[in-house]
Chains A and B, each alone.
Chain A
């Protein structure tokens, strides 16, 4: 059995995930509203309950890659003064 479920779901704020959810299954959020969810019954139910769309790992990674590329382009367009700031260029994210 795969360790994780991959999906997209919009974070609607309070109650989107609860402390109990966090205790019941692994959950990590990534750019592009991508969520990596522990593959158990409660994790799968959570994604369905949030009207999420299950993705393959490759599909989820592609969404994250696109959002990172978008952020990198935005960073590249910043004035040089801001690039020398503490603000580093967004880097590639590899989903677990």
Chain B
């Protein structure tokens, strides 16, 4: 057996204290504590990722954790979504809507085959994805659903499945070369809804059904024939998913007995299956992607309702803590629609509909009452910091502007155009107010005004005019997300996004869903937008180019205050008037600490 010296090219050091910056995997002896120590032992675990836009089960997937693809699903759909490791965005739909289909390849070179569009429509159709759209290719020789598959777009093996509602498990195997399917060696155990891993010349099939009971059998394919290996799953199941290789694979989720989805995860090392860290949520028929170092499982069921959730698998010496919302301290005064400014640990909430003048400061734990606004009002905009904030405009269509200095509010120069439901960005000495609404006109306001601390001057107009949008950023790099009146008559929610450069607005990447009365946090190139009239709990992130999903709010809300950054945000208040607060914390990566090694 190779020793540490041979493996690492290092000797085990004899030290009186742990080294300051040990390398991952470094081993040393701590003579003070008398322990043999190692830095960052790798462990595998599932953590929550961002949700799919459309919850569904019996879908397929491929790719990697940072470039994944999910497609198809139940009810039969062609919906396709792309994952970047942070969130899902909509891709081009399959030409043939279906569920229980097979999948292989990458996010930009994927293959979809087989499935069912609802009995008796069992499919043989094959489609290739190029990162934008699916195109039809030559069909499988045998139409089937619950089909297994592994490989890349130009070299895929497909096996098993069922051809009829009688749920008879098939043994037939077909190989795809990028153009057409040809027959391969037959499975030893006919079945459908197996787990899949590997490549065309080194594939792994495990579990499945025929139709009952659930299987534990594992077979390996060498490009010609299947061999049943001695190793069997510890947990018999079907509609499980997998990824990896014939020497290092993961099997997770599934169903056994019928109607009972499971969280079980097992890892295969080429000879045995060993139980590993469980999924957080029972699920079957998910979209899988990745490998045993970094993968994902998106959507799935138990049978109904379908799940939107994504779980990410990571095996490393670092621990990834997924982003999430948590409850914050409740406002002392429940209200809507209030304004806010500042950060998650130094926040400010003020005003509310119709004439609320309360001001509260947040310290990251609780809200405390402060001196009131001079003019109580809601529906204005707020920006700045806890000690240098601005409230401008408000119900009904006010021009009123007030500055907060950390203690008191003082009247400042009025907006040129009175309005409510405007958005804002920036600081007390370099602020921005844009869009809004002045009843009874049903149209939004296009005007942008720039604030210098005491007076407003005209900036570039929004196009299209908008009200009730989210605004973040600075006076010279602002972002408007969604809102009403954007590109459609009347107060209809829009997906429109505009970026301001200090003089004019230009169109940015569209939001994933139309929204209004949503709030935002962050900057023009690292923003969040959350809540709103049409989506409630939806949370999206923006990187300056495009949007992707983020973990959802716990309570859907509208007409609330939102502020902070894209990794530390606050949502406070709600409609009807409420005091509830949520805090968003972005994902973090930490290195596992050094631990003792036991020597036997």
A→B interface (CB under 8 Å): 1, 3, 11-31, 38, 40, 71, 74, 81-82, 84-88, 90, 96
**Contact mask for chain B residues 574-594; partner A; CB cutoff 8 A; 1 contact, 0 none:** 011000110001000000000
With the chains together, A84 CA to B305 CA distance in Å? Answer: 36
- The answer to whether A11 and B576 have CB atoms under 8 Å apart is no
Q: Is the CB of A84 within 8 A of B48?
A: no
Interface centre among A16, A20, A96 (most CB of B within 10 A): A16
Are A30 and B366 interface neighbours, CB within 8 A?
Answer: no
Once the chains bind, are A14 and B281 in contact (CB under 8 Å)? no
Interface size on B, residues (CB 8 A): 45
Across the interface, do A85 and B554 meet the contact criterion of CB distance under 8 Å? no
Q: How far is the CA of A24 from the CA of B282 in the complex (A)?
A: 12
Q: Are A81 and B309 within 8 A (Cβ)?
A: no
How many whole Å from A2's CB to the nearest CB in chain B?
9
Contact check: which of B281, B323, B440, B580 meets A26 at CB < 8 Å? B281
The residues of A that contact B263 with a CB separation of less than 8 Å are: 40
B38 within 8 A of A: no
Q: Are B330 and A87 in contact (CB under 8 A)?
A: no
Least CB distance from B69 to A in Å reads 24
Q: Is B47 located at the chain interface by the 8 A CB criterion?
A: yes
Assembly CA distance A96 to B328 (angstroms): 25
- Docked-complex contact B282 and A40, CB < 8 angstroms: yes
A85 x B537 contact (CB < 8 A) = no
Decide if B326 touches A18 in the complex (CB within 8 Å). yes
Contacts of B324 in A (CB 8 A): 19-20, 22-23
Contact A13 B329 (CB under 8 A): yes
Q: Are B327 and A14 in contact (CB under 8 A)?
A: yes
Choose from A24, A40, A88 the contact partner of B533 (Cβ within 8 Å).
Answer: A88
Interface pair B437/A86, CB less than 8 Å apart: yes
B258 at the interface (CB under 8 A from A): no
CB distance B327 to A16 under 8 Å? Answer: yes
B421 at interface (Cβ–Cβ under 8 A)?
yes
Please tell me if B373 contacts chain A, counting CB pairs below 8 Å.
no
Provide the residues of chain A in CB contact with B326, threshold 8 Å.
Answer: 17-19, 21-22
Q: Can you identify 12 A-B contacts, CB atoms within 8 angstroms?
A: A3-B302, A13-B366, A14-B581, A28-B554, A29-B556, A29-B580, A40-B280, A71-B576, A74-B576, A85-B439, A86-B484, A86-B517
Q: Which has the most chain B C-beta neighbours within 10 Å: A29, A71, A84?
A: A29
The yes or no answer to B383 lying at the interface (CB within 8 A) is no
Task: Please report the C-alpha to C-alpha distance between residue A86 and residue B440 in the assembled complex, in whole angstroms.
Answer: 11
